[in-house]
A and B are shown apart, each in its own frame.
Chain A
Amino acid sequence: MDWLSGWLKTVVALILLATFIELMLPTSKMQRYVRTAMSLFILLTLLSPVLEITRKGWDPGKLLAAAQLEQNQQGLRAAGAGGSSGLKSVSPPAEPASLEAVLQQSDRLKAENQRQAQRLLEEDLAAGMKQELQQQTVYPIRELRVTTELGGKANPSVTRVQIVLDEPDSPAGSPSPSSGGSGTAAADAGGNGAGSTGAGDLPQTGPIAQIEPVAPVARVEISTEPIGGTASGGPADPAEASAAAGRLTAAQQEASARLVKAIQLGWQVDPTHISVQWTKERTKL
């Protein structure tokens, strides 16, 4: 643009000059000749950009080929840098990376970012659920795991909620079969599970995260542990129930059903995606 403005200025000045000089001429006899000479000057000034091109011996074909060659080399270099670089290596700043390499890196960073966000969401959700559910059951919740999935439009949906409950192993801690006995059971298990809750707790006990809209999930996946033979539940020996792995007392069934319902109501998670597991293992009592 600088060049263009300079050229225009020159042309305008030359035309002004020509007008002045024509006025200065003594008689009109010489006017024709002087006019011709001035017009030649103006023509030369107008042609000066073209003149420069021809004087340097530029050939349009050669120029185009040189430009293309340079571009290709640059692209190859950038592609080589992008291909050889690992996850964390950044292309050298001396030469600008090609668009492809930059896009690749941005995709990588975006995916990593999304994974981190997903993990954070899962942890927050699990912490919130655990805190809420612990108030509804007498059995100490050992672990609560939430798996989310990013659907289209980056809308996260809960695909799986896994609850691990501590199985009561002491006869005193076994809840009575009647639903009315939950008060005593709570009292019993509260004393029982106080230590284990503190011990087996997951580190994340932050405030309840804001609940994100959860898309309904169609897939049905029931992974509740099979119900043991103690369907009648009530009179079953709690020691035997706890001893036989995979067997649940009626109270335990009821508790898991309640938990599932609570999650369904409170968090709008499809009940088929909730799995309740019982574990006998006690790290610390």
Chain B
Amino acid sequence: MEIIQIVGLGLIATVLILIIKEQKPMFAFLLAAFTGILIFLFLVGKIASVIEVLENLAQRSGVNMIFLKTILKIIGIAYIAEFGAQIVRDAGQESVASKIELAGKILIMVMAIPIITVIIETVVKLIPG
């Protein structure tokens, strides 16, 4: 049933935005942004359950919890960056959107830097001389 709620919300928001866009483009943008945030908040509970399952799996199989935390952080960065970039793109600021996406990519790579360091160190130590 939730999918119907979300789709209904999206349809109503779209109609409203189309109506309001002629008179007040500013409000149309705000409406779009808030609709997006609302849908996202709808999904937060579901994402939490998925993450719980993943954590359970990782704990049971002995995956390092630092790994899991880093992975979840990467996912969060990806979601937020995508969300922000799309809203900005909707507002017509393509260049700002691409900058947000770039920031998201770089932050993801920063998250992976410790792992890269460890791997490189290991390989260097393994090679004699």
Query: What is the interface residue range for chain A against chain B?
Result: 20 to 34
Tell whether A37 pairs with B108 under 8 Å between CB atoms, given A21-B75, A27-B82: yes
B112 with A36: CB separation less than 8 A? yes
Q: How many residues of B contact A (CB 8 A)?
A: 36
Chain A, 195-219, contact with B by CB distance < 8 Å: what is the 0/1 string? Answer: 0000000000000000000000000
Asked if B109 and A50 make an inter-chain contact with CB atoms under 8 angstroms apart, the answer reads no
List the A side residues contacting B57 at CB < 8 Å. 13, 16-17
Assembly CA distance A34 to B74 (angstroms): 7
Q: Which of A10, A26, A45, A54: most chain B Cβ within 10 A?
A: A26
A150 CB-CB contact with B under 8 Å: no
Which chain B residue has the least Cβ–Cβ distance from A30? Answer: B78
Kindly identify which residue among B67, B82, B105 contacts A26, using a CB–CB cutoff of 8 Å: B82
Measured CB to CB, the nearest residue on chain B to A52 is: B122
The A contact surface, by secondary structure, is helix
Contact A41/B70 with A24-B50, A47-B119, A54-B125 known, Cβ cut-off 8 Å: yes
Judge whether B45 is part of the interface by a CB distance below 8 angstroms: no
> Quick one: closest A residue to B112, CB to CB?
A37
Whether, in the assembled complex, A172 has its beta carbon less than 8 Å from a beta carbon of chain B, the answer is no
Which of the listed residues B54, B101, B109 has the most CB atoms from chain A within 10 Å of its own CB? B54
Q: Does A66 contact B (CB under 8 A)?
A: no
Partner of A43, one of B75, B83, B119, B126: B119
Determine whether the beta carbon of A9 is less than 8 Å from that of B126. Answer: no
- How far is the CB of B86 from the nearest CB of chain A, in Å? 8
A interface residues, Cβ below 8 angstroms from B: 6, 9-10, 12-14, 16-17, 20-21, 24-27, 29-30, 33-34, 36-38, 40-41, 43-45, 47, 50-51, 54
Q: Offer 14 A-B interface pairs, CB within 8 angstroms, sorted by A.
A: A6-B62, A9-B61, A10-B62, A10-B63, A13-B60, A14-B58, A17-B63, A26-B82, A30-B78, A30-B105, A34-B74, A40-B119, A44-B115, A54-B125
The list of the 10 closest CB pairs from A to B, nearest first, reads: A13-B61, A26-B82, A37-B112, A30-B78, A54-B125, A9-B61, A40-B115, A33-B108, A10-B62, A33-B105
